[in-house]
């Protein structure tokens, strides 16, 4: 295999990216994946209870094993960018043209929301730092209550309502609680509740154009500006942020273990909860297993994500050598964080602590990190800064990888043509701006706590769909393209194991999407995935007149024939795999039900 090198033309003129990266650069860009554990730490604890840390470990082990299939495919396509979904898409072109862009599209709309979700959390941290909500026990609140002591009397209807929902309390206690609530509301900075307007989409969701939206949009613009200078600049920025963030985060995971702060009753007698977001233990019945599968469903969005390390193959100086190194060492890094951090969090905080609203929505993670090592308020503030940097790392990783997925999908004739443009530094700018526009919409949705997990649940429908298609692409490539050079070749038994795991992930998809409070998440995700079909049909049959660009097929040795993809040696097997995966999803969705 020969690898295309940059010519005397600028990247903007030839449309190609620049080979300016070694494996450590790809590693540093993908080092934004470990902080993803903080996105859903509380959510997974809420749905799986004491099983939470086990869910993270199992999910991470699956992700690591699966990455070896992706590493083999990445080595086959040294002239492509965009990651595993692009390399797997080439396997499906021979059998069902629309499945190829489906793989890329599903991977993109799984990764892209990291921009909006991360910026929504970061906006929450900024608001908490600059415009904090006063504590109920703070002196200003106590002074306000004293000054308005006669504002509420025992015959006030609010007192009767409060006592009805809080049996056992007296009128004096109810008045005190109501005055405290009024004080907190009165002393909360107005910017915290400012909203330009809300837009309700009947039957689906509400878009919130509020302070969180404005701050999040500004953060996205800043991070896109950093990536405008090309992949080498992005890798350098990521390297320094990773050193600053990951070392303290690792220490937070280790210190409680060595200081004896782990309460082992929090990690023994492992049972799923009686219901979602309940600290009451349940049992290993159908409802309990449904909750656990829901945890494995959403954990995959984070633990499998280090496969983004192979998004930069077209920008590696030596893809034969560097591709495997990048994904392997990134996988080891993620293994340490995704196993250690959930274990220590649960061991110290317990399930009750993990269910605190500020842990579930992510805005209280920094304070929890400081508390786990017994730090004072100054160190806790430093952890707030570290959390912001951790979020920026995750967003940078997602922005870089998802933009390259759109770019390569365009270059291969699977996505709209305008996405294949790069600037003078080889950055896929049109794809980056497309990400920005889409994430403005998602940010308006995620600016509300309920919308946050709705975005997460739907995007993961795409991620597990992509995962299923690409793990099957591994064996399809083995059968159809045995002649192609594989700089790193996975053991055949591992390709077979990962094929089995593809169907396990289909099980997670069918059973788990409903766990997150949105009964229509699976259907909504499937509808969004299907949107790629008319987009692809227009690009392929209208724009390209039924032919693929030559560069789409050159790594397959088919560059001279843009209409034929060679013999279909796998026969009917790919179609059986698709039918089997769909059957697993449908049956799992019917069989597994939430606890009554």
Are residues 228 and 400 in contact, defined by beta-carbon separation less than 8 angstroms? no
Tokens of 277: 């977001």
How many Cα atoms are found within 13 Å in the side-chain-facing hemisphere of 573?
A: 15
Are residues 306 and 331 in contact, defined by beta-carbon separation less than 8 angstroms? yes
10-residue mean pLDDT series, the chain (596 residues): 49 61 84 82 89 96 94 86 86 90 91 83 82 85 88 87 84 88 88 83 74 89 81 78 85 86 89 88 92 93 88 81 89 92 90 82 74 71 80 83 88 91 84 90 75 77 94 95 88 96 96 82 89 93 88 69 70 96 96 88
pLDDT at 473: 95
The Cα–Cα gap between 180 and 186 comes to: 10
Element (DSSP H or E) covering residue 210: strand 205-210
Are residues 56 and 346 in contact, defined by beta-carbon separation less than 8 angstroms? no
Nearest 5°: phi and psi at 241?
-65, -40
The Cα–Cα gap between 151 and 551 comes to: 75
The Cα–Cα gap between 563 and 552 comes to: 11
Fold of domain 26-133+207-591: Amino acid/polyamine transporter I (1.20.1740)
- Tell the residue number behind the tokens 């309390």, with chain if given: 169
Nearest 5°: phi and psi at 397?
-60, -45
Element (DSSP H or E) covering residue 214: helix 211-227
In 3D space, the residue among 332, 237, 220 whose CA is nearest the CA of residue 29 turns out to be: 237
Element (DSSP H or E) covering residue 200: strand 195-201
In 3D space, the residue among 510, 406, 492, 523 whose CA is nearest the CA of residue 106 turns out to be: 406
Are residues 117 and 452 in contact, defined by beta-carbon separation less than 8 angstroms? yes
Are residues 490 and 580 in contact, defined by beta-carbon separation less than 8 angstroms? no
Give Cα separations from 47 to 311, 510, 518 (angstroms): 32, 16, 13
Tokens of 48: 């799986």
SS3 for 137-185, per residue?
CCHHHHHHHHHCCCCCCCCCHHHHHHHHHCCCCCHHHHHHHHHHHHHHH
- Cβ neighbour number for residue 161 with a 10 Å cutoff: 12
Which residues are bridge partners to 197 per DSSP?
209
Are residues 435 and 112 in contact, defined by beta-carbon separation less than 8 angstroms? yes
Give the chain's length: 596
Radius of gyration of the chain (CA): 25
Are residues 177 and 415 in contact, defined by beta-carbon separation less than 8 angstroms? no
pLDDT at 131: 86
Residues 6+ apart with CB under 8 A from 258: none
pTM value? Answer: 0.85
Question: What is the distance of C-alpha 380 from the center of its chain?
Answer: 26
The Cα–Cα gap between 115 and 363 comes to: 16
Domain ranges of the chain: 26-133+207-591, 139-187
């Amino acid at each position: 295999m020969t690898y295309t090198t940059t010519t005397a033309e600028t990247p903007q003129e030839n449309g190609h990216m620049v080979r300016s990266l070694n494996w450590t650069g790809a590693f540093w860009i993908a080092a934004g994946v470990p902080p993803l554990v903080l996105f859903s730490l509380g959510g997974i604890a809420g749905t799986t209870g004491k099983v939470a840390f086990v869910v993270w470990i199992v999910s991470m082990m699956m992700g690591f094993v699966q990455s070896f299939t992706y590493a083999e495919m990445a080595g086959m396509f040294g002239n492509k960018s965009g990651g595993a979904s692009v390399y797997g898409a080439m396997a499906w072109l021979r059998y069902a043209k629309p499945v190829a862009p489906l793989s890329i599209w599903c991977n993109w709309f799984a990764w892209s929301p990291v921009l909006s979700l991360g910026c929504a959390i970061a906006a929450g941290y900024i608001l908490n730092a600059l415009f904090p909500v006063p504590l109920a026990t703070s002196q200003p609140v106590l002074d306000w209550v004293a000054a308005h002591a006669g504002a509420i009397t025992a015959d006030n209807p609010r007192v009767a309502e409060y006592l009805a929902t809080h049996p056992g309390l007296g009128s004096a206690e109810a008045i005190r609680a109501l005055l405290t609530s009024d004080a907190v509301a009165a002393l909360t900075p107005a910017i915290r509740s400012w909203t330009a307007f809300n837009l309700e989409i009947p039957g689906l969701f509400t878009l919130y154009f509020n302070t969180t939206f404005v701050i999040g949009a500004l953060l996205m613009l800043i991070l896109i500006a950093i990536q405008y200078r090309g992949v080498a600049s992005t890798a350098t920025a990521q390297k320094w942020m990773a050193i600053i963030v990951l070392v303290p985060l690792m220490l937070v995971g280790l210190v409680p273990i060595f200081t004896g702060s782990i309460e082992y009753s929090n990690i023994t007698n492992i049972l799923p909860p009686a219901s979602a977001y309940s600290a009451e233990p349940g049992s290993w019945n159908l409802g309990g297993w449904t909750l656990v599968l829901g945890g494995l469903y959403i954990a995959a969005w984070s633990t499998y994500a280090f496969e983004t390390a192979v998004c930069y193959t077209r920008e590696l100086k030596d893809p034969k050598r560097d591709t495997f190194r990048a994904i392997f060492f990134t996988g080891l890094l993620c293994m340490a964080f995704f196993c250690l951090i959930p274990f220590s969090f649960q061991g110290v905080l317990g399930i009750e602590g993990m269910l605190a609203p500020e842990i579930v929505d992510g805005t209280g993670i920094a304070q929890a990190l400081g508390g786990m090592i017994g730090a004072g308020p100054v160190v806790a503030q430093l952890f707030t800064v570290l959390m912001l940097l951790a979020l920026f790392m995750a967003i940078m990783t997602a922005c870089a990888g998802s933009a390259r997925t759109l770019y390569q999908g365009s270059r291969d004739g699977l996505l709209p043509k305008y996405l294949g443009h790069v600037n003078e530094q080889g950055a896929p700018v049109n794809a980056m701006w497309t990400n920005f526009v889409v994430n403005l919409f998602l940010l308006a949705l995620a600016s509300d706590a309920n919308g946050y997990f709705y975005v997460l649940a739907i995007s993961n429908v795409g991620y597990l769909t992509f995962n299923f298609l690409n793990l099957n692409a591994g064996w399809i490539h083995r059968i159809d393209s045995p002649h192609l050079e594989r700089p790193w070749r996975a053991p055949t038994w591992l390709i077979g194991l990962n094929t089995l795991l593809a169907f396990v992930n289909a099980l997670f998809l069918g059973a788990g999407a409903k766990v997150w409070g949105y009964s229509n998440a699976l259907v909504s995700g499937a509808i969004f995935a299907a949107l790629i079909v008319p987009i692809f049909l227009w690009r392929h049959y209208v724009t390209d007149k039924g032919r693929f660009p030559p560069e789409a097929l050159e790594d397959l040795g088919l560059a001279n024939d843009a209409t034929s993809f060679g013999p279909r040696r796998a026969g009917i097997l790919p179609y059986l795999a698709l039918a089997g995966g769909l059957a697993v999803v449908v049956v799992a969705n019917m069989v597994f039900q939430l606890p009554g």
